Amino acid sequence: MNIKIERTTTPKTKPDQKALGFGKYLTDHMFLMDYNPEQGWHDFRIVPYGPIPMEPDAVALHYAQETFEGLKAYRYPDGSVHLFRPDMNAKRLINSNKRLCMPEVPVDLFVEAVKAIVKVDEDWVPSEPGTSLYIRPFMFTSEGQIALHNCSRFTFAIILSPVGAYFAEGINPVKILVEDEYVRAVKGGTGFAKCGGNYAGAMIGQEKAEKLGYSQVLWLDGAERKYVEEAGGMNFVYSINGEFWTAPTEGTVLPGITRDSILHILRDWGVTVREERMDIDTLIASGHDGSLKEAFACGTAAVISPVGALNYKGDEVTINDFQIGQLTQKLYDYLTGIQWGKVEDKFGWTVPID
């Protein structure tokens, strides 16, 4: 891949690494490439970060033909920069794109583009504890077309943001509201795809939860509103009597890479993992009788966010006295240890950018 690089002549002042927040700052550059059926992917370029011109009738704006990914680059103690399982993001984007009738970005091309843009903005990868560089690849139909058939022109872009902790509360447990009115996904729908439309449709649940003093929503299945699926933009994992449970990824749950990594680690530790459906009444009852010992939401942005309380239809259960669970803490330390290059990467998950 031949990438044309146009460097900015007006580099930004870098933010204070101790007050990065999440997604507040964007780096100096972005990656772009275009697709059409004649040329396939072409015009690979890294240019100064800035607006992307678009026709007002662009399909992405009207009909939400858009997919995205999220991964991070981490600064190791020796100063080198590594990605975490970027091939998994590439493969997931292929699945998302298939569902949304968008062309594939080959895995190698995706990983090479990510490495190239991170390399150009390498100075932006922070080194303070808890920080990383969030990488946001995304793709959309740039074609103008109100009639909507067979779009053929697409744009793939990558932007970067140095980030601190996702939740203002840090690694402290959060309260979650179980959503019993709205749904996020149904079988045959787009729940497994990482696409903007899923978020647009789910925003109302998140807004409702926040209004009532909860930091996240827990979605139930779309057909019966009975089985536990996932949290807002994170998968949901919990332990009952020493066994770890999470919803199976059967079309309605986003197959999280953090989820997959955590299940791998738990199995490696000899912990029983059950990727099975759980109905919300049983889960709440397990909270009341104390067998629900640990719960957390997980995703690239926050890694692991312990859940201290669940509220379902006004019935609130507290989990582990609103303290982070013992294995939850151990998982967080181990997984982030691998990501930051402080713990041996025995699974071969980390990839240096050069």
Ligand X SMILES: *Cc1c(COP(=O)(O)O)cnc(C)c1O
One symbol per residue from 289 to 318: x for binding ligand X (CB under 6 A), - otherwise; what is it? ----------xx------------------
- Residue 259 binds ligand X, judged by CB under 6 A: yes
Interface residue with ligand X among 64, 220, 234, 266 (CB under 6 A) is 234
Q: How many residues bind ligand X (CB under 6 A)?
A: 13
The DSSP bridge partners found for residue 162 are 133
- Residue 205 binds ligand X, judged by CB under 6 A: no
- Residue 254 binds ligand X, judged by CB under 6 A: yes
Interface residue with ligand X among 235, 252, 311, 320 (CB under 6 A) is 235
User: What are the phi and psi torsion angles at 207 (to 5°)?
Assistant: -65, -45
User: What are the phi and psi torsion angles at 281 (to 5°)?
Assistant: -65, -40
3-state helix, strand, coil split of the chain in percent (to 5) is: 25, 30, 45
**Two tokens, residue 13:** 């002042």
Find the part of the chain contacting ligand X (CB under 6 A) among 33-41, 140-148, 231-239, 328-336: 231-239
- Residue 230 binds ligand X, judged by CB under 6 A: yes
Distance CA 141, CA 67 (A): 10
| Residue partners of 201: CB distance under 8 A and separation at least 6 | 184
- How many Cβ atoms are within 10 Å of 283's Cβ, its own excluded? 22
One symbol per residue from 109 to 148: x for binding ligand X (CB under 6 A), - otherwise; what is it? ----------------------------------------
Phi-psi sector, 244: left (phi>0), alpha (psi -120 to 50), beta: beta
- Residue 70 binds ligand X, judged by CB under 6 A: yes
Closest CB 255 distance from ligand X, rounded Å:
8
If the CB atoms of residues 105 and 254 are measured against ligand X, the closer one turns out to be 254
Which residue matches tokens 């920080």? 131
If the CB atoms of residues 161 and 258 are measured against ligand X, the closer one turns out to be 258
Candidates 205, 317, 227; CA nearest to 279 is 227
**Two tokens, residue 162:** 């140095």
Interface residue with ligand X among 257, 280, 317, 319 (CB under 6 A) is 257
Interaction with ligand X in 160-199: which residues (CB under 6 A)? 194
- Residue 85 binds ligand X, judged by CB under 6 A: no
If the CB atoms of residues 299 and 341 are measured against ligand X, the closer one turns out to be 299
The DSSP bridge partners found for residue 221 are none
Candidates 70, 18, 17; CA nearest to 298 is 70
| Site for ligand X, rule CB under 6 A | 70, 194, 230, 233-235, 254, 256-259, 299-300
